């Protein structure tokens, strides 16, 4: 693993996977800036991450649906840490949008949170990343290439994110690397309480089970460190 001590912006830092990524980065000595929507959750996670590592990492509250979210996050980065060197994109909801009732609004919201705002955020911080030979790692979804029902808006947005980030990998090369992870289903104690659903979903996977946040973190760290990879989409959880 490469020597770290870098400054990483974690977007979606209050989510199940975002928290796990932030914790792993803090543990290996990275500095963090956290962002998500919910102020109270951000404060709690920042406090939690501070315990073994001294100072509590700064955070910026921003709703990616707001047109000024990117400016808010960049202003927070400037005032809290000056600049960032890497970005992990782990944000956004997983809305159920049955196709029969899919609305234009559903598509606009999911595209904004999962694709438009993340792409504009990377653009806004691209010079920071370039100065540090930094990288972007984004959590995408295996459903982009193996779609499932009732999530057309989400899968459309993740597809847009993947295409957009692959384009950025070319635009920003060779100074910035941009990679993605196409995730299968990560175990969720609440959603997985239904044993029939769990069985049905898990049997679709040759490995016969859901993933764990730690297994996702492992791949995030590997891609942050993979200095000879850009524009790649690493599938896990098939």
Residues contributing to the site for ligand NAP (CB under 6 A): 12-18, 36-38, 41, 63-65, 90-94, 113, 139, 141, 183, 185-186
* Distance in angstroms (rounded) separating the CA atoms of residues 1 and 52: 22
The total of other beta-carbon atoms located within 10 Å of residue 50's CB is: 13
Q: What is the DSSP string of 171-223?
A: HHTTT-EEEEEEE-PBP-TTGGG-HHHHHHHHTTSTT-S-B-HHHHHHHHHHH
Cβ-contact 125, 167 below 8 angstroms: no
Q: What is the DSSP letter of 100?
A: G
Lookup: tokens for 6: 């870098």
What is the smallest separation between the CB atom of 218 and ligand NAP, expressed in angstroms? 15
What is the smallest separation between the CB atom of 175 and ligand NAP, expressed in angstroms? 25
What is the smallest separation between the CB atom of 69 and ligand NAP, expressed in angstroms? 7
Lookup: tokens for 95: 């809305």
What is the smallest separation between the CB atom of 108 and ligand NAP, expressed in angstroms? 12
* Distance in angstroms (rounded) separating the CA atoms of residues 195 and 27: 34
Is residue 174 reached through a cis peptide bond, with omega within 30 degrees of 0 on the bond before it? Answer: yes
CB-wise, 13 or 219, nearer to ligand NAP? 13
What is the smallest separation between the CB atom of 169 and ligand NAP, expressed in angstroms? 18
CB-wise, 15 or 134, nearer to ligand NAP? 15
What is the smallest separation between the CB atom of 170 and ligand NAP, expressed in angstroms? 22
CB-wise, 43 or 132, nearer to ligand NAP? 43
* Distance in angstroms (rounded) separating the CA atoms of residues 189 and 198: 10
Closest Cα partner for 123 from 187, 71, 195?
71
């Amino acid at each position: 693993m490469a020597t770290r001590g870098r400054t990483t912006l974690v977007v979606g830092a209050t989510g199940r996977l975002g928290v796990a990524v932030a914790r792993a980065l803090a543990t290996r000595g990275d500095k963090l800036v956290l962002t998500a929507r919910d102020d109270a959750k951000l404060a709690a996670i920042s406090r939690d991450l501070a315990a073994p590592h001294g100072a509590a990492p700064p955070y910026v509250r921003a709703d990616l649906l707001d047109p000024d979210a990117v400016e808010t996050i960049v202003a927070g980065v400037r005032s809290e840490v000056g600049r960032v060197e890497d970005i992990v994109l782990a944000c956004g909801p997983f809305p159920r949008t049955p196709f029969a009732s899919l609305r234009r609004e559903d598509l606009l919201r999911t595209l904004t949170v999962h694709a438009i705002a993340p792409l504009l955020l990377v653009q806004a911080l691209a010079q920071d990343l370039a100065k540090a030979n930094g990288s972007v790692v984004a959590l995408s979804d295996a459903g982009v290439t193996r779609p499932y029902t009732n999530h057309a808006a989400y899968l459309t947005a993740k597809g847009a994110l993947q295409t957009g980030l692959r384009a950025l990998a070319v635009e920003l090369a060779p100074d910035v690397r941009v990679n993605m992870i196409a995730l299968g289903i990560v175990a969720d104690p609440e959603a997985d309480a239904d044993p029939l659903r769990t069985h049905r979903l898990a049997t679709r996977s040759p490995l016969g089970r859901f993933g764990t946040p730690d297994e996702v973190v492992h791949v995030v760290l590997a891609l942050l460190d993979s200095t000879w990879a850009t524009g790649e989409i690493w599938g896990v959880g098939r």
